[in-house]
Structure 1
Amino acid sequence: MAQQEFELVIGDKNWSSWSLRPWLLMRQAGIPFVETSIRLRQTDTKEQILAHSPTGYVPALKWRDAVIGDSLAICETIADLYPAKKLWPADPLARAMARSAAAEMHSGFQNLRREMPMAVLEKHPGEGQTEEALADARRVVSLWRECRVRFGRQAVEDQGFLFGLFSVADAMYAPVVTRFLTYDVDLAALGDDGTARTYMDAIMTLPAMQDWVRGAEIEEAAKSPV
């Protein structure tokens, strides 16, 4: 598939957690696309997004004169189109659990999202750590450990991710990794035995993740007054 077949419309890299997910998946998998960035939190943001997607939300994947909205739908589409990239685990049980984990992230953890919004370049230690948000964080830590112990470490190719190889599930949880760093969440206090911390290192050292952070820095610098 040629580069011009995909256009991914995203929001600010510092803030847009939903944009990060498909962007990271496609970049890490080496799938070329044209990137269109819409600056968020502006008076004309909605209007600009509607010029690309009828939902009025980012991300949106433009492909074959169609628009696929929603991060998980985009990731599922890419995984279907590129089976050789192994973006879901091959084992049926592992794949089912990876889909379950991705769906839980997609529909859950509302308190964590609200109290500790993604801000990749920022540091807000201790902020947003309400009882409800930390309960969500505790569940994330537990889920990561379960996936790594039962599936990741048992995988034929274990590269340190939830199910061994980098997958859609990892793309879905990448914004949570940045949240834990931004708000300096005490993972040990949430039951982490080191598994979550090691997993976070694996995500943050991904070349594509580092590219996203650099992109955020460039965007933020461009916003600053001269």
Structure 2
Amino acid sequence: MARATLTISSKNYSSWSLRGWLLCRMAGLDFTEQPVDLDDPENRQELLLLAPSVRVPRLNHQGVQVWDTLAIAEYLHEISPKAKMLPAGIKARAHCRAVSGEIHSGFYNLRSALPMNIKAKHESFKIFSGARPDVARVKEIWSECLTTYGGPFLFGKPTIADAMYAPVCTRFRTYAVELEPQLQAYCDTIFAWAPMAEWCAAAVAEPDEVLELEVEF
């Protein structure tokens, strides 16, 4: 498989970059990271969701450019079917796509109230009322998947859904969101997952002068 380039942003703050990076690692893609310059006004405008089209993360591979996270996931699934990024069985695949799409397009209040910040850790944190239904819905999705497919990942083995929900695990840890044992075990599984552990170590090592953006991206 030819070497590819993945454009990403801050490893500490960028949940979408984390998703795209995990997907590429899951697919076994040989890729080079290409960080954007957060001091560049155009990059900041794009990352703050002020540009017409947000294109980070962006995958360049064999002349193909893909910049939507779910589109990246589907592209990688097509070119690397042996990676089994979707579960076996049409019902499970549909379920995986549905929960992945839900986190991709929704949960605005959760994103706003609990922005990703891997370095930070609060002993306690009051979640504003508007975000609580989002937190409850994530817990519901996780519980249903873990009960249905037996864990330790949402669909038994790592899939696209785990890449999509991995940033939520970091948020729940950062903001001390209380989880029942089954859900805490899932978060522990995600943090112990080799590519996730690698990303988190790099996030912690990221220079402190990296500017936290005003809007979650």
> TM-score when scaled to structure 1?
0.84
- Which string of whole-angstrom CA distances, capped at 9 and with x for unpartnered residues, describes residues 5-56 of structure 1? x11000000000001002012224432111101143x343528979xxx945
Q: 2: distance between equivalents of 1:45 and 1:10?
A: 14
1:76 corresponds to? 74
Q: 2: distance between equivalents of 1:21 and 1:140?
A: 17
The 8 Å contact of residues 12 and 39 in structure 1, kept in 2 or not, is answered as no
Match for 1:98 among 80, 96, 99? 96
2:215 corresponds to? none
2:186 corresponds to? 199
Match for 1:44 among 41, 45, 56? 41
1:177 corresponds to? 169
The 8 Å contact of residues 38 and 45 in structure 1, kept in 2 or not, is answered as no
The 8 Å contact of residues 116 and 127 in structure 1, kept in 2 or not, is answered as no
The CA deviation at 1:86 is 0.5
The 8 Å contact of residues 125 and 185 in structure 1, kept in 2 or not, is answered as no
The CA deviation at 1:65 is 2.6
Q: 2: distance between equivalents of 1:14 and 1:39?
A: 15
2:59 corresponds to? 61
- Which string of whole-angstrom CA distances, capped at 9 and with x for unpartnered residues, describes residues 92-114 of structure 1? 10110000000000011111001
Residues 1:218 and 2:215 aligned together: no
1:186 corresponds to? 178
- Supply the AA of the counterpart residue of 2:176: D
The size of the alignment, in residue pairs, is 208
- Supply the AA of the counterpart residue of 2:114: M
**Gap regions ≥5 residues in structure 2:** 212-217
- Pick closer, same or farther for the CA change 1:128–1:175 going to 2, 3 Å: farther
> Could you say what secondary structure the match of 1:220 adopts?
coil
The 8 Å contact of residues 161 and 199 in structure 1, kept in 2 or not, is answered as yes
The 8 Å contact of residues 16 and 56 in structure 2, kept in 1 or not, is answered as yes
Identity of aligned residues (%): 41
Q: 2: distance between equivalents of 1:103 and 1:28?
A: 18
Q: 2: distance between equivalents of 1:205 and 1:45?
A: 36
The CA deviation at 1:123 is 1.6
The 8 Å contact of residues 148 and 162 in structure 1, kept in 2 or not, is answered as yes
- Supply the AA of the counterpart residue of 2:160: V
2:137 corresponds to? 139
The 8 Å contact of residues 39 and 45 in structure 1, kept in 2 or not, is answered as no
- Supply the AA of the counterpart residue of 1:75: A
Greater relative contact order structure (CA < 8 Å, 6+ sep): 2
The CA deviation at 1:116 is 0.4
